[in-house]
Structure 1
Amino acid sequence: MPLLMTLGIQALVSMASLTPPVLAPVAAAEIGMPVSMIGLFVGLVYIGSMLSSLGSGDLIKRFGAIRVSQFCLILCASGLALATIGVPWAIVLGALLIGFGYGPVTPASSHVLARTTPAKRMGVVFSLKQTGVPLGGMMAGALVPTMVLLAGWRGAACAVALFCVAMTVVTQAIRMELDADRDSSRRISLSGALGPLRMVFAYKPIRDLAICSFFFSAMQLCLTTFLVTYLTKEFGFPLITAGLVLSVAQAAGIVGRLLWGWVADHWIAPRVLLSLLALGMGSCALLLAIFAHGWSFAWVLVLGATFGGMAIGWNGVYLAEIARLAPAGQAGTITGGALFLTYAGVVAGPPLFVGIVSLTGEHASGFVVFGTTIMLIGLMLMFTRLQRTDSPIDRKV
């Protein structure tokens, strides 16, 4: 039940965050704004996520992880409803509210799952929960266009908001049980918001993983953001064909999240596995940029699936390892601090990629730079391995 509930919450929050990009072509035309402004909206969402993830630790301890998740669902619903006003201030505030709701959900679910999951199953369970992110994207892509046809873009946004409210009601049934560890006397302060970040940098193994996640998330966003444009402009693929490659990459990411979680639980230590995934996704980026131009569509599809399976599939292993390394009772707090750096990569990656493309005039250069960087990150993870035990870290290193 904890896994099902956290998966459902993750999927709906993800759906809420990805609904505006689906609505953008219709909404922008009616409002009179350029559709490219959706990039700014998404950036604001992740800036809100960065900020709210830092404060999630104290909130989880004070109110409980499920109650915080309920707050997050309501914030996402409010952000979607506010954005339907269709004026700039409402759209900006709506994006920030969605981001404030998106940020604490993963730390809250990590807090719940770290308490309820056997250590030998953490990789699979956390990876399965993280499939809620692409699942929410699939729900947005499959359901929202139909809702737009039935009720207009404002009606579609409000319908997704109602889904979030409904999940808030459903989760109330397990709230008392899973929030039994909350401390109502816990103080909430703005100064305490930096505590999770200080904790991350105090524990070297967690710090290393969090810094690496900045580059992992940047690579992931650049793949999903620029792959279709790259294939159409520099490979000459039709839009539908390029879209198929992206769809296969996304689907492979879901499979990858489950596969790598199982591998981390049974075969390869998580830190080693993450370093191998970094080397793998970096190699795929270089192959895509340098060698794949003369390949057949079938081989490009295989490369896209391999790339997506690694660049989108790493998250569950990363979050499970952060929770495993965290001191007892601190999984939510440390996850919030680590995700600040993860979301920073989401915000910084696409603009950096665009800057490289602007300087060189080709998307291939962006994949070369990012691919080389992520391979260096993989080597750093591999060669800075620390001797570890199966118990959480209980000292600063």
Structure 2
Amino acid sequence: MDLKAVSMPKNGSSSLLFVTMFPQAIMSMVVLTPPVVADQVTRAVNLPVEAAGFYTTLNYFFIACGTLCSGVLIPLIGPLRLSFACIFAGGFALALFGLASVPAIVTAVAFMGLCYGPLTPSSTQAIASQGRIENIALFMSVRQTAVPIGGILAGLVVPPLVVRFHLPTAMLMIGAVVTLAALFAGFGLKIVRSEVPLSKPLGRVGFFAPLRHMLQDGDLLKLSFGSMIYGALQLTISSLLVVFLMSTLGHDLIAAGLFLGVSQTGAVIGRIGWGFLADRLSALRAVLAGVGVGMSVTCVLAGMLWPSAPDWYLGVVVFALGATTSGWNGVFLTCLIKAVPIEKAGFAASGSLLFSYFGIVLGPPLFGILALLTSFSTAFLSFAVLALAGAFLCRPSASVPQVTT
């Protein structure tokens, strides 16, 4: 099965960066809004707040489905048009979520996941289709900062609006702004309007074709399993760091939240820094494997933390955790672009990200079980070993040549 490239005009790097970052940042804000308002939503539907824990599993199930759908939709619609269509629909999903009934919430979460899933494969294909980009790893890494930017927007924008206008009105307002922004940007930006997709019959691609493609390519399969491990560490640290700081190290919620912010700052700087280093060294896979070694070292340091550890030292450790466990994404996607022909970049991303999402779903509960049965220190040390396995899978493979893009 061969996918033809989507016909796209060559545009400046700044325009391309914006149209690939904007949808990701907006939809990241959308999918991170439910955890921010979990207390209000669970009270509205008379469920315990612990029920919010099901959100991640449900959300990532539909994100995986949306990712698979992108293999079919990218050649039919075009990657950029698909991205803006996703945030257009995502705004409606957010407004539906604000109705705060169980059917509305489940339906909204499903649409959020389906709209979020195609974004990374679409942007990967759009970037690959532009031809040669200087400092491609840095470009991809900067693009991937859209994810934490979306998280920052969710934290800054959503709570004040919910407090001021209450949940249904706040969700309707944010959803309307998201939908209108997608509509105006999609029609107003020349780079999106001038995209010319090449129609392709659905049957010739198939829903599971990206996954089959991964299973038939040994090198991409190893890289994908490596991303599964990296994804597991990424969400584990971002979701359980506050619990660790409070329950084991004895910090209060305010201090723990501050250190979480330090970790997320490390994630943004790490994404940009690793991309810059990969370009400077012209060694994508070596840097990607090195990030895994860094994850292992920082997990060991985290496991050795003690309650009276100085704040400056704790800050260094959590910063390094963020920079490594959440800093690998841009370099990883660049490895995919370099490993396949231009027309298959989004297709490869669709299949490979399924492994990443599987790790994201499994990582936090596995870490939590280890911490519960043993200790947080043992769980961190165990994940340090897991990180080394990910680094081994992502190491350079001399037998497989890279595809020039």
Larger deviation: 122-131 or 148-157?
Answer: 148-157
Counterpart of 2:197?
A: 182
Residue 115 (str. 1) matches residue 104 (str. 2): no
Aligned to 1:381: 394
Partner residue in 2 for 1:301: 315
Quote the residue 2:382 is aligned against: 369
Structure 1 position 311, deviation (Å): 0.8
The letter for the 2-side match of 1:391 is V
Q: Which of 33, 50, 72 is the equivalent residue of 1:36?
A: 50
Cα deviation for residue 373 of structure 1 reads 0.8
Cα distance change, pair 37–190 in 1 and its aligned pair in 2 (3 A): farther
- CA offsets per residue over residues 273-307 of structure 1, 9 Å max, x none? 11111111111112111355552121011010011
In structure 2, what residue type is equivalent to 1:385?
S
Q: How many angstroms does 1:76 deviate by?
A: 1.8
Aligned 1:1-397 pairs, distance under 5 A: 1-116=15-130, 118-169=132-183, 170-174=185-189, 180-184=195-199, 186-189=200-203, 192-360=206-374, 362-382=375-395, 385-387=397-399, 389=401, 391-392=403-404
* Contact 1:41/1:92 (<8 A) preserved: no
- Asked if the contact 1:72/1:101 (under 8 Å) is kept, the reply is yes
Instruction: Give the whole-Å Cα distance in 1 for the aligned partners of 2:336 and 2:193.
Output: 21
Q: Is the 8 A contact 1:214 1:342 kept in 2?
A: yes
CA distance in 2, matches of 1:218, 1:157: 30
Q: CA deviation at 1:241?
A: 1.2
Deviation of the 1:93 alpha carbon: 1.6
* Counterpart contact for 1:205–1:386, Cα < 8 Å: no
Cα distance in 1, alignment partners of residues 143 and 131 from structure 2? 12
Distance 1:380 1:104, change over 3 A: closer
Per the TM alignment, residue 178 of structure 1 is displaced from its structure 2 partner at its CA by 6.6
Q: How many residue pairs were aligned?
A: 390
SS at match of 2:383: helix
The aligned amino acid for 2:229 is F
Contact 1:213–1:341 at 8 Å: present in 2 too?
yes
Deviation, structure 1 residue 177: 5.4
Distance in 1 separating the partners of 2:192 and 2:56: 35
RMSD: 2.0
Q: 2:294 is matched by which residue type in structure 1? A: G
Check 1:33–1:216 CA distance in 2 against 1; reply closer, same or farther (3 A cut).
same
Paired with 2:125 and 2:131, the residues of 1 have a C-alpha distance of 10
TM-score by length of 2: 0.91
| Partner AA of 1:352 in structure 2 | L
1:152, CA displacement in angstroms? 1.1
Structure 1: runs of 5 or more not aligned: none
Instruction: Please tell me the residue identity of whatever aligns with 2:290.
Output: L
Contact 1:63-1:179 at 8 Å conserved across structures = no
Q: 145-154 vs 256-265, which deviates more?
A: 145-154
1:231, CA displacement in angstroms? Answer: 0.9
**How far apart in 2 are the matches of 1:114 and 1:219?**
28
1:229-267 per-residue CA deviation (whole Å, 9 max, x = no partner) reads 111111111211111111000011001111111111112
CA–CA separation in structure 1 for the residues paired with 2:76 and 2:106: 29
Distance 1:174 1:97 in 2: 25
Matches of 2:341 and 2:171, distance apart in 1: 40
For the residues of structure 2 that align with 1:8 and 1:156, how far apart are their CA atoms?
21
8 Å CA contact 2:80–2:195 kept in 1: the answer is no
SS in 1 for 2:157: helix
1:257/1:313 contact within 8 Å kept: yes
C-alpha distance in 1 between matches for 2:288 and 2:78: 30
Select between 210-219 and 84-93 the one with higher mean Cα deviation: 84-93
Aligned-partner Cα distance in 1 for 2:30–2:87: 9
Counterpart Cα distance in 2 of 1:187 and 1:161: 33
Q: Distance in 2 between matches of 1:326 and 1:286?
A: 35
In structure 1, what is the Cα distance between the partners aligned to 2:170 and 2:234? 28
Please give the per-residue CA displacement for 1:355-386, whole angstroms capped at 9, x wherever unaligned: 223322x333322221211122213433x632
Q: Find the residue that maps to 1:155 and give its secondary structure.
A: helix
Q: CA deviation at 1:26?
A: 2.3
Partner Cα separation in structure 2 for residue 307 and residue 131 of structure 1:
16
CA contact (8 A) 1:61 1:181 kept: no
